[in-house]
Amino acid sequence: MAGKAFFCGGNPMHEMAIAEGVLDIALDYAKKNDATCIREIGLLIGEMSGVVVDSLTFSFDMIAKGTIAEGAKIKVKHVPLVGRCTKCGKEFHIEHYDFWCPECKDGVLKTISGREMQVEYLEVD
């Protein structure tokens, strides 16, 4: 199971909504594969996603109680915010939301990474 994206839908309880999406994806995958236990969930979380990982983990632990995902470990891989200048082609890490190209000083770029909120993998039995 790789690359399944999830969406929070603008809920004021951002991390709880994300945790619900992650749990839905994990339970759906487990059901389709006759799994009886979800051991680990790997997430890709972009630097610009605004996700507070501790809150997400806490929320997930709460809503997973009584399911086959109870006790599952959440492993987060942080994805840096990277852009590519559309004028000169330079790729660079965007720091402090400074979207100006350090090479040519142009302000038009394409975001390459950093907005991810994605289930990267699941470990199930």
Binding-site residues from annotation for Zn(2+): 85, 88, 101, 104
Q: Which residues are annotated as a binding site for Ni(2+)?
A: 14
Name the β-bridge partners of 122: 41
The SS3 assignment for 62 reads: helix
Distance of CA 24 to the CA centre of its chain: 14
Query: Rounded distance, CA 123 to CA 125, Å?
Result: 7
Q: Which residues are annotated as a binding site?
A: 14, 85, 88, 101, 104
Query: Rounded distance, CA 80 to CA 93, Å?
Result: 7
